[in-house]
Amino acid sequence: MATEATVSAGTAAPRLRAEVSAGEAPAKSGRFAFNLVSNVGKLGLTMVVGAWYVPFLVRQLGPAAYGLIPLTSMITSYMALVTSSLDTSVGRYLTISLGRKDDRDANTIFNVSLWGNVAIVALLALPAMAAIANVQHLVRIPPGYETATRWLFAGTVAAFFLNQIRSPFLVSCFSLNRLDLQNVVIVGETLTRVGLVACLFLLIAPRVEYVGAGILAGTAVSTFSAVWFWKALTPNLHLRLRDFDWTVLKNMCGTSGWVVISQVGLLLYLNIDLVLANRLFGPETSGRYAAVLQLALLLSTLGMTVGEVFAPTMYHKYARGNFGELALYLNRAIKFVGLVLALVVGLVCGFAEPLLRLWLGQAFGSLAPLLCLMAIPVCITLAMYPLYAVPLAANRVKVPGMVTLAIGVFNLALALLLAGVFGWGLFGIAAAGAFSRIVRNFIFAPLYGAAVLHQPYRTFYRQALPIIGALLATIGLGRLISWGWPISNWVDLGLAGLTVSGLFAVTTWLLLTSEERAALKEAAVRWRK
């Protein structure tokens, strides 16, 4: 049951309610198609840039030096544990206040978030500087790259701090269901980050520290854009230190306190693999692992980008209290996300060997089984990504937090056991992560989501078999084509991929129900309008 923090009229604390009437919800279903196309467009750019950027960095810097880049980003993400207790709840509460057109509450929530993040950044500055000065004790650095790594780490940490200050401004886009504008911010950041690094590499010299400069520059551009959109979308919100309220801060952090526990678990099974690979096997091997991992991360980004478009409408339907209708909506979302991932993940795994060989170089072709081990769980688990907001909407985050923490600790122990004791090497780290993701996202999340919505436990597994069947069929067809057709260039790979995609699209359309076809056609009509 959602909690309600009700304060007397004489205080500045807002009434932070999880329930709002249907008429007050800011989410507009008519924006669904537009937001979806915007998300897919952003994702397309991200994947195109990533497909070029990763091999560009690997070839310019070498695997060992390249491995430092994603590694420092993962280490920096550990600092997000301190900020997540505040950031997680802001979107939910600000959405409700803006939907009620309660400017007083909205200004209080916004300023609590902003000034709270500023205070947290100030508190983290000193330990961050200590970590930068002693980065050689955190990771294994290739000889001669010690100073460059410090500059890379410094740029990444500074970008993280700036991103925390940006976050409250970007919430306006989410709260008003303008994910298209939020995507503009992200696209600007991506183009700036990659464009600056490419220019510096080509005009001056390939240097690791330039990547840190690019990360910081991209975040600065996105922060400026976020502030501009915040002012345009919510002119009723103002920067006022006097609107900061300790009671509201306590309520917001208390609501998402268990989310912090969940974040610890997530870090232990999502952001620990590169650190383990670096510490166990050294910078050269971990650099190869990091390069392959980036493709799996792009697939994860695909799932989250497509899945997150359902969140505003999910909050809206939850607020109306019709859990049966919400369960139907989430099932359709799961099927949609799952089928999109089944196609893309199936193509990647079906053509894994030629893809790695053409993308990263001949030496990476042998890592195709490792890529499949990383990628297949992405489809199985992120198909359930639309369920991520259900516990947040219901304010039932204690159990997910405890379960995620337990799974994270288990993942760390299992990775050490498989990679070290059993001698599985990099495959041990990937296998532990795959198992942990399946337990957390494919077993626990659907069961708990059904319990929160008071639905039968099988509710969100109805689409699992079609999604898994589509994934296996796509992988099998890709492997079959690879065996009979020696793929030696990008044209061959593209033609093979288009062949599989065409068969997939036709088969999927024929297997959709009439209601699902009607929903897709309606979304297409709304988009054309």
Residues 167 and 272 both lie in one domain: no
pLDDT at 81: 54
Residues 391 and 513 both lie in one domain: yes
Tokens linked to 264: 């610890």
Tell me whether residue 179 is in a domain.
yes
Q: Report how far Cα 143 is from the mean position of its chain's Cα atoms.
A: 33
Residues 247 and 324 both lie in one domain: no
Residues 175 and 189 both lie in one domain: yes
Residues 211 and 297 both lie in one domain: no
Tell me whether residue 502 is in a domain.
yes
Last residue of a domain, one of 198, 219, 254: 254
pLDDT at 112: 81
> How many helices (H) and strands (E) would you count in the chain?
22, 2
Q: What's the average pLDDT block by block, 10 residues per block, for the chain (529 residues)?
A: 32 33 42 66 76 87 87 70 55 67 77 82 84 82 87 89 83 73 84 92 91 91 89 83 72 57 65 83 86 86 77 72 82 87 93 91 89 92 84 76 84 90 91 91 90 88 88 93 86 92 87 70 53
Rounded-to-integer distance, Cα 215 and Cα 213, Å = 5
Residues 179 and 308 both lie in one domain: no
pLDDT at 35: 65
**Amino acid identity, position 373:** L
pLDDT at 90: 66
SS3 label, residue 141: coil
Residues 326 and 406 both lie in one domain: yes
Rounded-to-integer distance, Cα 59 and Cα 202, Å = 13
Rounded-to-integer distance, Cα 246 and Cα 256, Å = 16
Tell me whether residue 15 is in a domain.
no
Tell me whether residue 347 is in a domain.
yes
pLDDT at 15: 33
Residues 246 and 297 both lie in one domain: no
Residues 224 and 300 both lie in one domain: no
Tell me whether residue 191 is in a domain.
yes
Strand partners, 4: 17
pLDDT at 307: 76
Contact 370, 427 (CB under 8 A): yes
Rounded-to-integer distance, Cα 169 and Cα 227, Å = 6
Angle at 482 between CA 366 and CA 496, to 5 degrees: 120
Tell me whether residue 211 is in a domain.
yes
Longest alpha-carbon distance in the chain: 76
Phi, psi of 17 (to 5 degrees): -105, 145
Which residue blocks in 134-178 are alpha helix, DSSP H? 146-175
Tell me whether residue 16 is in a domain.
no
Domain count, the chain: 2
136-151 pLDDT per residue, tens: 887 888 888 888 889 9
Tell me how crowded residue 473 is: count the other CB atoms within 10 A of its CB: 17
How far are the Cα atoms of 348, 448, 459 from residue 328, in angstroms, in the given order?
30, 16, 9
Contact 429, 273 (CB under 8 A): yes
Residues 197 and 280 both lie in one domain: no
Strand partners, 5: 16
- Look up tokens 């520059």; give the residue: 217
Which residues lie closer than 8 Å to 191 by C-beta, 6 or more apart? 45, 49, 218
Q: What is the DSSP string of 28-53?
A: -GGGHHHHHHHHHHHHHHHHHHHHHH
pLDDT at 11: 30
Residues 34 and 165 both lie in one domain: yes
Phi, psi of 272 (to 5 degrees): -110, -15
Terminal-residue alpha carbon distance, the chain: 39
Residues 145 and 39 both lie in one domain: yes
Last residue of a domain, one of 233, 254, 275: 254
Strands 16-17, 4-5: pairing is antiparallel
| Domain encompassing residue 81 | 26-254
What 8-state DSSP symbol labels residue 5? E
Tell me whether residue 204 is in a domain.
yes
pLDDT at 19: 36
**Amino acid identity, position 38:** S
pLDDT at 266: 65
Last residue of a domain, one of 254, 277, 304: 254
